[in-house]
Amino acid sequence: MACSGGISDQLFVSVKLESPRLTELDLDPHLFGSHPVAGSWDPCKALPLGRAAAAVWDLSCVVPSQHEPLDFKFVLKQKNDSSQCIVEEGPNRSLGCQSNEVEMRSAVFKLDEGNDVLECKVQVETEMLSPFDLAASWRAHQEYLQPSRVRGAHDVTINTGLEVRAKNGFASGLELDLEKYVVPTPNMGSRVVYAANLTENPRSLLQTGSYSNNDTTKDILYNSTKGDSSPNHYAKTMKGATEGHAQSLEEHGAMFVDRGVGSPNFGRPTKETFSVSNFKLDSEAKDMPAAEGAVAAAAVADQMYGPKEDRKLTIVLVGLPARGKTFTAAKLTRYLRWLGHETKHFNVGKYRRLKHGTNQTADFFRGDNREGVEARNEVAALAMEDMLSWMQEGGQVGIFDATNSTRIRRNMLMKMAEGKCKIIFLETICNDKDVLERNIRLKVQQSPDYAEQTDFEAGVQDFKERLAYYEKVYEPVEEGSYIKMIDMVSGKGGQLQINDISGYLPGRIVFFLVNCHLTPRPILLTRHGESMDNVGGRIGGDSSLSEAGQLYSRKLASFVEKRLKSERTASIWTSTLQRTILTAHPIIGFPKIQWRALDEINAGVCDGMTYDEIKKSKPEEYESRKKDKLRYRYPRGESYLDVIQRLEPVIIELERQRAPVVVIAHQAVLRALYAYFADKPLEEVPNIEIPLHTIIEIQMGVAGVQEKRYKLMDAVHPTAGL
């Protein structure tokens, strides 16, 4: 029987048997059946049900969504004589893969040759869930110290045996001082960087020292400071602007997505529906090597989603200060760049500081301070003009980062963008006073606006005054296409409201944002321990660990125990290849989740070969890969761009997690993951250094992304680089 459903989804089955009388009898209920998770049809091999309540016994199992029909029956066994079995009367029970429903008839047992009959109430519950839902449920209900009673969960396991700790020699595996193993970080560094400083440089100011050379921009800036701030005024001052009114701002039905963060129940994925554009596929890949495996995945994707000039998109941030706008903008910019979309982040505050200095007090931001309002509108127009010019040069997605707190400002931006790009407003709303206080103090600590302020508390007070001035004139977004992130930074839930959102890329953006939060937590990235194929210089394969790799697995287990000893909700993610599973095996006390998406890049027909062998037997492939390692696809295998596409669900899940995660994977996969966190250009991905036996700790939080590296031991043999 064929079944539908996602390959990664699993069916959780809970079977309960209830009978007050059964507690008086010296009998234990069991289950046996046709499916491996139900044991077998041999009653002697039946699976015992666990005591769930005074008169209730249960058994839980997990089967793939595309499972064969599960036929089973109940059997009672004597406590002291398991050979004595009483099988329930009637036909077998069947759990089909299409309906996932079971007939809820009672279980009837004949206790003797007479009329003594025991009737037990039966309840069967089913639910589709992912391995992450299952792991989250274990974290909530099993508290890690008890082995799970759920059978058949092949993708999620827990080691809890104390004998494993003794066997693997934890105490001698690693010294207590983890800092001894810290090595220099070649790319990101460990100090906090103010996110706005990493945004696009204001070229209109840097080129001339004051104004853009563009006459239209000058007209907008000079005229907009005369006091007329109506939307029609900005339209009149733009040379060559399109005649007529802006697009109608007709209200559309809004959709609310309840995140349900922190629920102890099994989570169901939120389903959003978006209008998807019609795509045209041009199968011709240009300017690529001619070898069999060299396919330009990115070029094909560009042609699938239409010409770039038809896909210009501006995300305009809206929100009061200290609401996480810049941090959200930076995350979104990093995500879109990683997916291959040409994206830049323009921060208006950076323009303001360059043009008007960093020593502006709260008075500069008063709504009734005409000079301050004009100056802020001026730099906003400059930033918008820079962004539109960049789009004309080939840019695809611009992130426009400012408060944009009034309709007048937003109308100005829409008029400037008319006919050039689509605008989506992204409004961040936070009502949590504790979060706001934390953000305010962090802002004063990091922002160049307060770099010369020696009295920290005076700086906090000044910022709160600035915030109060913004609150007096703030107008929530009710016009155009918009996304509202409401109380999504507190870690206590939240809501995403969207209006008039359609298309492929906006849909991806919404899906990304609904999974984002600001909860600080570390993500540990490491390659598996040295494998036998590493020793032989062979790529791909599914070999076991060398002696050095086994030693690293023990050191890694000791490291995780010490580093995450207070993080009881952490989890361990591996690929489905045995070298990562074996590396994770000594780690105890945490759920282990296997991701097929974390498997090494598929080398196709070259799997198991050395590079010398490829060069001799397939010289065209060798040269094609050398010319364009990012886009080169192994014959019957993958390219780095293919790997990035299949890793997107992993990135989404890493963003969604609020607890630490240890990812044990492979060189090509970790290059792609690291490039996301470090915001590296795609062209650099194939050459990022990810050494063996080294842990890369990524710290994610409201302060941004930081990195620290720990080298636990040296690699004995050089490794092949896929």
Active site members: 401, 430, 528, 600
How far is 226 from 374, CA to CA, in rounded Å? 8
Q: Which amino acid is located at 480 in the chain?
A: G
How far is 186 from 90, CA to CA, in rounded Å? 69
Question: Per-residue DSSP letters for 185-239?
Answer: -SSS-SS---GGGGS---HHHHHHSSS-S-HHHHHHHHHHTTS---HHHHHHHST
CA dihedral 570, 157, 58, 52 (to 10 degrees): -40
How far is 131 from 712, CA to CA, in rounded Å? 30
Q: Which amino acid is located at 455 in the chain?
A: D
**Token pair 């529906």: residue:** 273
How far is 11 from 90, CA to CA, in rounded Å? 26
507 phi/psi in degrees, rounded to 5:
-65, -40
Start-end of H helices in 310-455: 325-338, 348-356, 370-392, 407-417, 433-446
Within its chain, how far is the Cα of 76 from the centroid?
47
Within 8 A by CB and 6+ apart from 263, the residues are none
User: Do the beta carbons of residue 429 and residue 344 sit within 8 Å?
Assistant: no
How far is 336 from 648, CA to CA, in rounded Å? 11
Burial class (CB in 10 A: 0-12, 13-18, 19+), 416: buried
Burial class (CB in 10 A: 0-12, 13-18, 19+), 509: buried
**Token pair 């109940």: residue:** 74
